[in-house]
Amino acid sequence: MTTLSITDYVVIGAFFAIILLVGLAMSRRAAQTMESYYLGGRSLPWYLLGFSGMSAWFDMTGTMIITSFLYLLGPRGLYIEFRGGAVLILAFLLAYTAKWHRRSGCMTSAEWMTYRFGTGFSGEMLRLASAIMGIITTIGTLAYLVRGATLFMGVVFPVDPTLLTLGVLCFAAVYTVLAGFYGVVLTDLVQGCIMIVGCVVVSFIAWHKIPSEAALAAVAQSVTGNAHWVDSAPAWHVTMPPGYEAYQSLMMAAAFYLLRNIFGGMSSGTDSRYFAAKNPREASLQCLLQGVMVMFRWPLMISFATLGIFLIHHILPNKAAAMDVAQAIHAAQPGLTAGNWARFTSGLVHFPQSAPPALIQHISQVLGPDWQPALLLIGPSGNINPELILPAVLLHTMTSGFRGLLIVCLLAALMGALTGLVNNASALFVRDIYQNFLRPRAKNRELILFAYISSLLIIAASFGLGLAAPSINDLWGWLVMSLTAGGLGPGLLRLYWWRTNAWGMAAGLFLGGVAALVQRWLDPTMLEWMQFTLMTSVSILATVAGSLLSGRTPHAVVRHFYRTTRPFGWWKPFWSELPGETRGAWKREHRGDILTVVCTLVWQVCLFLLPMQFLTHNWEGFFNTLPVFFIGCVTLYFFWWRNLPPADEAVADFASVPPLEQPARTVEETDVTLAA
């Protein structure tokens, strides 16, 4: 049984010590003001924010689940991850939604609601509702991270994975509450550099492991049953194991997930990193860097998937043995659930002396004397659990020292995602609930204290939910296709339809969120496409009905939002008020934004496919994709780069003064000069 060496533990310990020192060093600066704590004083350059955003996309749990699909499908697993892992919403953020939200000058997504709908009773209730839903969504996302962390810890460390995950969460909580946004961003930079180094080295190892495309295809078929593992072109139908049958119609699934990303991308932009940018131009620039940097994730994951295939081929060539062992464990532990399976098998591996001797004897007879690595990979249904491929490869195929560095890379990815999410959710509670409704006159010291307390409570709630989830894929599918889909209707209409008001948006958020929670309770196995269709429809209909059945948002408030944000969509009453010259400039900007989205989506898919095709020696696919990628680069230059907002574009500060009480700026003050 392979275990971590002293060198591995030294590398891991050094990483945690450095992170803690950064948190202590940044604590004084972060606590100066609320804007410093949550947005870094809006003084951080776009490249630091871009690296921070890349670290947030590069989470440990997401890396494990995408690796599982790449293990099952090869490069075609990318199309399943149109669901969220391919981060296609970056195309919309890069094109226009990041700059739209930065133009508000707000600090949080809930505060933005006041900017959009005013400071009346309905606007304040919407601000409260959006803050609550934002916190609930964050807790669900953190629970997904917790579930992945427990699986990872159970394979890699000879300690109870639940306790170890709790320890990492506590450390992340201490670091986050000390460092604030400054520390989060600067540490993300260090963690991002470590992760990129890890990606390059693992890719190099996998490249030299593969003798040829044909040899890899043969081994992959014997392990996964997929005869077209190395292919990267989309296919209508693919072979999937039990539990993953919903993804067999690959093209249909990819099309549906693409639709979900279009809806999600059009309503995106409320992450604190975009509010924290110096100006709208830098809000867009950081998105490009995020897309380029997150590309390194895909060669890392296809490398782990490839090495996983060779590992399974070596340690568990007999699939019937896995089923035999799973049945024996269920017979010995009849009450064992899927959610507790990984923790139980980890205990058998690391502490066999505490297990029933007859069970250990049977497992060793079926799997052989070196049974521990194989047992860790067997799932409750008797198949290989693809979600455990990554930690298994890391533990059993990497050398001492470098193995510790890779663990640091993945822990850095986990920490980066945790700290960013916790910081954002804490901001929603302190700024939009505590300060806005409970203690408007609270001093800075009191607000910082409650920032600490709220961060700890959010992490505690996430930990409990994460332990109850049966699998990563199950929880992630519900989060993406149900819970967050319940907010897509109001998220879309608030940006593109002038008649949307606070009551309508509150109705959409409330009913969409409730519908998602009820679905999870009554029918947790509902197909993902049905979840998405139901929750999105409920949220859209509720938003439209609530808006039409209640009074309009004051004209001055909507006009102020429209002229400062400059969105496209159904804004005829306010569009007709603009002078002809301004309408011409806005049309050019909007046309460039829409074309940028289309070009970026194609460019981004090619950017992720190319390194996977290269690593699997799929030269035909590589040289077919390469010219499409270059065309995407050229179109991005003409449609996006040449039309970026000027660096000196004026942005008002709406963080402290509600839009309703500000004088509406003239059209000339909000006009933009765009390149022809």
pLDDT above 70 (res 657): no
Tokens in use for 375? Answer: 């047992």
Angle between helices 297-315 and 580-615 (to 10 degrees): 30
Backbone angles phi and psi of 400, in degrees to 5: -60, 145
C-alpha to C-alpha distance for 624 and 553, rounded to whole angstroms: 52
Is 299:612 a contact under the CB 8 Å cutoff? yes
pLDDT above 70 (res 27): no
pLDDT above 60 (res 676): no
pLDDT above 70 (res 178): no
Q: What is the largest CA-CA distance in the chain?
A: 84
C-alpha to C-alpha distance for 87 and 11, rounded to whole angstroms: 31
Nearest residue to 513 via CA among 479, 547, 546: 479
C-alpha to C-alpha distance for 373 and 314, rounded to whole angstroms: 11
Tokens in use for 233? Answer: 């072109």
- Placement of tokens 């400054």 in the chain: 182
pTM, rounded to two decimals: 0.83
In three-state secondary structure terms, 410 is helix
pLDDT above 90 (res 59): no
Residue bearing the bigger pLDDT, 486 or 59: 486
Is 384:325 a contact under the CB 8 Å cutoff? no
pLDDT above 90 (res 450): no
Q: How confident is the model at residue 416 (pLDDT cuts 50, 70, 90)?
A: low
C-alpha to C-alpha distance for 434 and 437, rounded to whole angstroms: 6
Domains and CATH numbers, the chain: 6-227+254-313+400-670 (1.20.1730.10), 319-337+351-383 (no CATH)
Q: What is the pLDDT of residues 194-213, one digit of tens each?
A: 778 888 889 999 998 898 89
Q: DSSP string of 376-400? A: HHB-TTSSB-GGGHHHHHHHHHSPT
Q: What is the pLDDT of residues 280-297, one digit of tens each?
A: 999 999 999 988 998 999
Q: What is the pLDDT of residues 585-624, one digit of tens each?
A: 999 999 999 999 999 999 999 999 999 999 999 999 999 9
Instruction: Name residue 378's beta-bridge partners.
Output: 384
Tokens in use for 147? Answer: 């579930």
For the chain, the average pLDDT equals 83
Q: What is the pLDDT of residues 506-539, one digit of tens each?
A: 899 889 988 988 998 888 888 888 899 999 999 9
User: What element of type H or E holds 573?
Assistant: helix 572-575
In three-state secondary structure terms, 318 is coil
C-alpha to C-alpha distance for 312 and 377, rounded to whole angstroms: 9
Give percent above pLDDT 90 in the chain. Answer: 29
Q: What is the pLDDT of residues 233-269, one digit of tens each?
A: 888 888 888 778 888 888 888 888 898 889 989 998 8
Dihedral angle, C-alpha 356, 362, 366, 371, nearest 10 °: 30
Query: Looking at residue 525, what is its pLDDT?
Result: 81
Is 430:77 a contact under the CB 8 Å cutoff? no
pLDDT above 90 (res 474): no
C-alpha to C-alpha distance for 614 and 172, rounded to whole angstroms: 36
Query: Looking at residue 184, what is its pLDDT?
Result: 63
Q: How confident is the model at residue 41 (pLDDT cuts 50, 70, 90)?
A: low
Q: How many CA atoms lie within 13 A of 644 on its CB side?
A: 20
Sign of CA dihedral 561, 564, 567, 573: positive
Quote helix, strand, coil % in the chain, to nearest 5.
Answer: 75, 0, 25
C-alpha to C-alpha distance for 482 and 501, rounded to whole angstroms: 23
Query: Looking at residue 667, what is its pLDDT?
Result: 33
